[in-house]
């Protein structure tokens, strides 16, 4: 699905990414984690076609990415909902932009809102619902377009711990029902281990280590020792990078 080769991104004289090589197979999930400023979001936005690389290339389904593609869905940390539109209208926005007829839009929007448990809030505005409900609307707005590639930038980080786990459970449930290639940036070790089949640990502008997670898909993994063993392994690699940063100061 995704092949990244010798990717580099610069902002002026600052190197954000350098010599990045990464493969993400079709219908697999990948969690990207690392310290602030290491290039995680830059890498994600480059996969989305929102940032043009300075060197190297991103291939999706064998074709070099030159700009955004309609089959890619992006979910942002703040949700990006339009405050003057209801939950229903926010979700329907992309379908209307594609010229879909009203009956089909009604069917698709109703189905996804019901699946995400927020159909009863269809006529409410973003400021009238909770943070967890707003994030569900954001997820619905993206998934209703049926993307084959889903990119998430800190999709649950603005929520409290309970709602964060609810959103993570929801994302896993939706993935297990309709698999798609999914890449997420996160600061949470626990989220990376729960949702990532592959966990990419970044250091400044580069990939430091990759861990394959054999326990992905187990909804009860949080209650098992294996989950914490992988969390500790991720933490170990992150600690090495944080220690290196301290030494360089």
pLDDT tens by residue, 63-117: 999 999 989 999 887 668 899 999 999 999 999 988 899 999 999 999 999 988 9
- Residues 34, 142: Cα–Cα separation, whole Å: 25
pLDDT reading at 213 higher than 70: yes
pLDDT reading at 140 higher than 60: yes
Cβ-contact 114, 35 below 8 angstroms: no
pLDDT of residue 245: 52
Give how far the C-alpha of residue 51 lies from the chain's centroid of Cα atoms, to the nearest Å: 16
What are the residue ranges spanned by the domains of the chain?
1-71+188-249
Q: Is 83 helix (H, G, I), strand (E, B) or coil?
A: coil
Closest C-alpha to 195, from 241, 231, 224: 231
- Residues 75, 206: Cα–Cα separation, whole Å: 23
- Residues 73, 193: Cα–Cα separation, whole Å: 22
pLDDT reading at 241 higher than 70: no
CATH architecture of 1-71+188-249: 3-Layer(aba) Sandwich (3.40)
Give the relative orientation of helices 131-143 and 161-177 as an angle to the nearest 10 degrees: 20
pLDDT of residue 242: 53
Predicted structure pTM score: 0.90
């Amino acid at each position: 699905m995704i092949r990244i080769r010798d990717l580099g991104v610069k902002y002026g004289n600052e190197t954000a990414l350098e010599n990045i090589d990464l493969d993400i197979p079709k219908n697999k999930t990948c969690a990207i984690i690392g310290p602030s400023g290491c290039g995680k979001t830059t890498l994600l936005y480059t996969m989305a076609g929102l940032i043009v690389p300075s060197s190297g290339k991103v291939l999706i389904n064998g074709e070099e990415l030159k700009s955004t593609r309609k089959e890619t869905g992006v979910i942002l940390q703040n949700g990006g909902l339009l405050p003057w539109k209801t939950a229903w209208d926010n979700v329907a926005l992309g379908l209307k932009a594609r010229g879909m007829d009203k009956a089909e839009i009604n069917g698709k929007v109703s189905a996804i809102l019901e699946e995400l448990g927020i159909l009863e809030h269809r006529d409410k505005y973003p400021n009238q619902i909770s943070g967890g409900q707003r994030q569900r609307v954001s997820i619905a707005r993206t998934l209703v377009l049926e993307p084959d590639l889903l990119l998430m930038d800190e999709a649950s980080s603005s929520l409290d711990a309970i709602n964060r786990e609810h959103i993570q459970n929801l994302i896993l449930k939706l993935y297990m029902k309709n698999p798609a290639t999914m890449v997420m940036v996160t600061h949470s070790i626990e989220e990376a281990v729960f949702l990532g089949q592959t966990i990419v640990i970044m250091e400044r502008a580069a990939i430091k280590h990759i861990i394959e997670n054999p326990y992905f898909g187990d909804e009860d993994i949080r209650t098992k020792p294996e989950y914490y063993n992988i969390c500790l392994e991720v933490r170990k690699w992150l600690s090495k990078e944080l220690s290196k940063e301290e030494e360089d100061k």
